[in-house]
């Protein structure tokens, strides 16, 4: 791999993040408000996604249960991507498309949030989880790309859609990770206010 090719990755990523900052600031702020309101009312956040998005779900849950950048009490967040016994049992006995749905039905309650990640917006098992969440009167924060796909079309006005304006999976995932950090920071700011040096 040449230095020029490596630099092209950095350049494309930087340019997308600049565009995304303008396009996504408002929906990210709305997602923070939705999540903070749910957590303040004793509700929780469930997160689901596949592959790199599964890793992002686990990252998000870890930041809330542990900490992001400030010491605080743990916040209730659960990645639906971590229990291999549940996922393999459901996948084997029912369908891979049900691995998140069954968990949403088991753990989700009215007022909870589903954080749904799919770079294409068309992941069948994430789409099914969104449907299950809406049936349970949960709100959805969807992180997508490539126009939002079927998940984007399913969301209601009460949900938040954060759709990265790009078609390349790697670039979308990079913005999703930055978005997750914005969500964690926003929740901390909502809890404690901005730090004096900010």
> What are the residue boundaries of the structural domains of the chain, listed by start?
3-192
pTM of the model: 0.96
pLDDT at res. 1: 74
Give the angle 170-114-38 at the CA atoms, nearest 5°: 125
**Topology classification of domain 3-192:** Rossmann fold (3.40.50)
The overall average pLDDT reported for the chain is 96
Q: How far apart are CA 108 and CA 106, in angstroms?
A: 6
198 pLDDT higher than 80? no
Question: For the chain, what percent of residues have pLDDT higher than 90?
Answer: 95
pLDDT category at 171 given cuts 50, 70, 90 is very high
Question: For the chain, what percent of residues have pLDDT higher than 70?
Answer: 98
Mean pLDDT of 75-103: 98
């Amino acid at each position: 791999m040449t230095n020029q090719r490596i630099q092209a990755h950095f350049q494309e990523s930087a340019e997308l993040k600049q565009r995304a900052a303008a396009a996504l600031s408002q929906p990210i702020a709305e997602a923070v408000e939705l999540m903070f309101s749910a957590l303040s009312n004793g509700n929780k956040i469930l997160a689901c996604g596949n592959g790199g998005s599964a890793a992002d779900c686990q990252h998000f849950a870890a930041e809330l249960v542990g900490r992001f950048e400030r010491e605080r009490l743990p916040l209730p967040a659960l990645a639906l991507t971590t229990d291999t016994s549940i996922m393999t049992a459901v996948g084997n006995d029912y369908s891979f498309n049900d691995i998140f749905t069954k968990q949403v039905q088991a753990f989700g309650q009215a007022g909870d949030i589903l954080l749904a990640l799919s770079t294409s917006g068309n992941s069948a098992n994430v789409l099914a989880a969104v449907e299950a969440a809406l049936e349970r009167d949960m709100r959805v924060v969807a992180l997508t790309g490539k126009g939002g796909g079927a998940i984007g079309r399913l969301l209601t006005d009460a949900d938040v859609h954060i759709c990265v304006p790009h078609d390349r999976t790697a670039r979308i995932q990079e913005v999703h990770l930055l978005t997750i950090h914005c969500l964690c920071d926003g929740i901390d700011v909502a809890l404690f206010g901005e730090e004096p040096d900010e």
